[in-house]
Amino acid sequence: MKDRQEKIAQVIVTAQQMHDIEERIFTAGMPVVALMEKVAGLIARRIQDIYLLSCQQENKGKASLSPSLPPSRVGILTGPGHNGGDALVVARELYFRGYEVLIYCPFSKLKELTSQHLQYNRSLGLPCYDSIEPLQDCDLLIDGLFGFGLERTLTDPVASAINQLNEWDKPIISIDLPSGLHTDTGEVLGTAVRATHTLCLGLWKQGLLQDQALDYVGKAELIDFDIPLADIQAVLENSPSTKRITKTTALSTLPLPRPPVTHKYKEGHLLLICGSRRYSGGAILTGLGARASGVGMLSIAVPESLKSIMVAQLPEALIIGCPETESGAIAQLQLPAKTDLSSFNAIACGPGLTQDASPILQQVLDSTNPLLLDADGLNILAEMETIQTLQKRQKITVLTPHTGEFKRLFPDIPDANHDRVKATREAAAQSGAVVLLKGARTVIANFQGTVWINPESTPALARGGSGDVLTGLIGGLLAQASSKKIFVEEIVATGAWWHSQAAILAAQERTELGVDAHTLTNYLIAVLASTSNKK
């Protein structure tokens, strides 16, 4: 059971894939009406858990639970398709559980099954309106207007109704997706329901994990309705996989537990190339991120003038003071005697470099080491014809741009805000690199099209320096994994998960305003310790 849960928790589907999976179920003999009854029954039970809980919590503050509380009034928003069908079954079940139920349905042409459910609800005496106003006094709204069958931009009257109900500030539970969101891109098609909760049915829809959807999704959870794994496999096996990073996948990739017999050189040697007189903090934060990764040996190449501050901050690291330019950037990568770039298991280059350090980038690009480029490393690369430069490199390369850096690196890839999954996949395919596109839902892709999405983060990370910490952390993980058979994109995805989980823990203890980058580095180990104990 746990195995199924883990597999289901990872899978992300598009509308087409969900349609094809459901078609297999119906072709195998499952009556549509039976599946709808099963799914809607699960939804109705979950709604009562969520909703009754909040009622009881609300009443807890009062002297006593008044037995004469009027039944909660629930408004059902009904669309013309099976999303609407689901909602009408929920309506009937809540009615039988004693709720007062009102229905809004502005559509005259409904799918057959949906129409039958509406007819039966009407026969039970449930009031049905073609305008939204009568539902204004409801305590809770259930959004069954559109699910993954939404094909085009919403128009009136339903668009205006959605805009009105969004102003009511009432709890809204959306079935499958908030109506109005594009199932794959998360784009708002005209307008969309701002859900308090989204109950995603069967498998996670890709649109729910795209940054532009997050203002509408609310708290999202999956309602598993026992889709056979064989049906999922049959539909997805010929497409590039798109998965959610879960705690299980992340922990399985971490270099834990360590072998009982080991030594510092067996646990990876990372070279960081970072910092400038102007941005010494970036070098420190990158070093602290690398330290937290557990990497066995850490060397940090910085301009000579940063050497003393780096030694003070990171006494365990080998600080390499390099000749610097007038402006205080690294002029030349001057490694200690008897070492060259092949002495390291991985290189991470970029934070705080400034573009004056551009000469060293070609040197690291010419190396054969696994290489992570971030910040100014990316900005310098963007001046060098990214695609051609990386195609020539043909070695493990990881790019960690935010949206702005992404646009500079890949100016010909359509706007990364429209479909971040597609844009990241395209960038990885063209460059051959593993590309991590930072965001509220960070996307990682490799050149074969495999995509991982980090499904949980916190706006607390929206601060200078967070990215430097991530660079050091992932660099350290790459160095430790270099002798292991782990897919690079999984290592990178684990770093993104670890980084965001640390920020989430820090925000819980210090609020979202209390997670500066230096504090974040202290939570990297704390979150791991707490997570591993709970494994």
Segment lying near K ion (by CB under 5 A), choices 10-18, 128-136, 137-145, 512-520: 137-145
Residue 436 CB burial class (10 angstroms; 0-12, 13-18, ≥19): buried
CA 531 to the chain's CA centroid: 19
**Chain position whose Cβ is nearest to ligand LP7C6HRI:** 147
* Least Cβ distance, residue 154 to ligand LP7C6HRI (angstroms): 5
> Do the annotations mark residue 83 as ligand-binding?
yes
* Least Cβ distance, residue 80 to ligand LP7C6HRI (angstroms): 5
> Do the annotations mark residue 143 as ligand-binding?
yes
496-to-369, 397, 514 alpha-carbon distances in Å: 21, 16, 20
Q: In what order do the strands lie in the sheet with 219-223?
A: 128-129, 100-104, 73-78, 140-144, 172-175, 197-201, 219-223
Inter-residue contact 110 to 84 (CB < 8 Å): yes
The span from the CA of 381 to the CA of 91, in Å, is: 57
| Smaller CB separation from ligand LP7C6HRI, 223 or 341 | 223
| 117 near ligand LP7C6HRI, rule: CB under 6 A | no
In sequence order, which ranges of 254-314 are alpha helices (DSSP H)? 280-293, 307-313
Size (the chain), residues:
535
**Tokens at 229, concatenated:** 């794994």
Segment lying near K ion (by CB under 5 A), choices 125-133, 171-179, 238-246, 270-278: 171-179
3-state DSSP helix/strand/coil percent for the chain, to nearest 5?
45, 15, 40
Segment lying near ligand LP7C6HRI (by CB under 6 A), choices 78-86, 299-307, 388-396, 498-506: 78-86
Q: Locate tokens 């009136």: which residue?
A: 156
| 179 near K ion, rule: CB under 5 A | yes
| 192 near ligand LP7C6HRI, rule: CB under 6 A | no
| 191 near K ion, rule: CB under 5 A | no
Residue 80's binding partner out of ligand LP7C6HRI, K ion, none, with CB under 5 to 8 Å set by partner kind? ligand LP7C6HRI
| 356 near ligand LP7C6HRI, rule: CB under 6 A | no
Q: Locate tokens 């200690």: which residue?
A: 336
Binder among 21, 35, 297, 517 for ligand LP7C6HRI (CB under 6 A): 35
* Least Cβ distance, residue 122 to ligand LP7C6HRI (angstroms): 19
Binder among 95, 99, 104, 146 for ligand LP7C6HRI (CB under 6 A): 146
Q: Three-state DSSP class for 334?
A: coil
> Do the annotations mark residue 376 as ligand-binding?
no
Binder among 111, 244, 422, 499 for ligand LP7C6HRI (CB under 6 A): 111
| 143 near K ion, rule: CB under 5 A | yes
| 152 near ligand LP7C6HRI, rule: CB under 6 A | yes
| 174 near K ion, rule: CB under 5 A | yes
SS (H, E, C) 156-215: CCHHHHHHHHHHCCCCEEEECCCCCECCCCCCECCCCCCCCEEEEECCEEHHHHCHHHHH
| 149 near ligand LP7C6HRI, rule: CB under 6 A | yes
The span from the CA of 463 to the CA of 427, in Å, is: 25
| Smaller CB separation from ligand LP7C6HRI, 209 or 295 | 209
The span from the CA of 172 to the CA of 140, in Å, is: 6
Inter-residue contact 403 to 416 (CB < 8 Å): yes
Q: Which residues bind K ion (CB under 5 A)?
A: 83, 143, 174-175, 179
Q: Which residues bind ligand LP7C6HRI (CB under 6 A)?
A: 22, 32, 35-36, 39, 79-84, 86, 111, 146-152, 154, 175-176, 201-202
Annotated binding site for (6S)-NADPHX: 82-86, 147-153, 176, 352, 402, 468
